[in-house]
Amino acid sequence: MDRFSTVGIVAAMEVELELLRSSLEEVRTISLASGTCYMGRIGNHTVAAVLCGIGKVSAALAVQELIDRFQPDCVINTGCAGGIAEGIKIGDIVISDQVSEWDLDSTALGLPRGYVCSLNTADIPADKALSDRIAAAVPEGMTVRTGRIVSGDQFVSRQEQRDIILGTFPDALCAEMEGAAVGHVCAQNRVPFSIIRCMSDTADHQSNVDFYDFAAGAGRTCNRILMKLLSD
Minimum CB separation from ligand ADE for residue 43, in Å? 28
Report the residue number, 5 or 168, with the smaller CB distance to ligand ADE.
Answer: 168
Strand, coil or helix: what is 53? coil
- Phi-psi domain of 110 (left: phi exceeds 0; alpha: psi -120 through 50; beta: other): left
Is 200 a binding residue for ligand ADE by CB under 6 A? The answer is: yes
Is 156 a binding residue for ligand ADE by CB under 6 A? The answer is: yes
Is 178 a binding residue for ligand ADE by CB under 6 A? The answer is: no
Q: Which residues have C-beta within 8 Å of that of residue 222, sequence separation ≥ 6?
A: 16, 78, 79, 80, 93, 196, 197, 198
The only residue of 51, 104, 172, 175 in contact with ligand ADE, by rule CB under 6 A: 175
Contact 74, 1 (CB under 8 A): yes
Instruction: Find the part of the chain contacting ligand ADE (CB under 6 A) among 86-94, 128-136, 139-147, 197-205.
Output: 197-205
Contact 64, 184 (CB under 8 A): no
| Rounded distance between C-alpha atoms, residue 221 and residue 17, angstroms | 10
Strand, coil or helix: what is 126? coil
Supply the DSSP string of 74-105, one letter for each residue.
EEEEEEEEEE-STT--TT-EEEEEEEEETT--
Instruction: Find the part of the chain contacting ligand ADE (CB under 6 A) among 36-44, 119-127, 136-144, 196-204.
Output: 196-204
Helix (H) or strand (E) run with residue 40 in it? strand 36-42
Helix (H) or strand (E) run with residue 231 in it? helix 207-231
Q: List, by residue number, the catalytic residues.
A: 16, 201
- Quick note: the x/- pattern for ligand ADE over 53-82, rule CB under 6 A, is ---------------------------xxx
Minimum CB separation from ligand ADE for residue 99, in Å? 13
Strand, coil or helix: what is 191? coil
Minimum CB separation from ligand ADE for residue 68, in Å? 27
Report the residue number, 45 or 197, with the smaller CB distance to ligand ADE.
Answer: 197
| Rounded distance between C-alpha atoms, residue 97 and residue 84, angstroms | 16
Report the residue number, 89 or 190, with the smaller CB distance to ligand ADE.
Answer: 89
Is 16 a binding residue for ligand ADE by CB under 6 A? The answer is: no
The only residue of 201, 219, 221, 230 in contact with ligand ADE, by rule CB under 6 A: 201
Minimum CB separation from ligand ADE for residue 156, in Å? 4
Interface residues toward ligand ADE, by CB under 6 A:
80-82, 155-157, 175-177, 200-201, 203, 207, 211
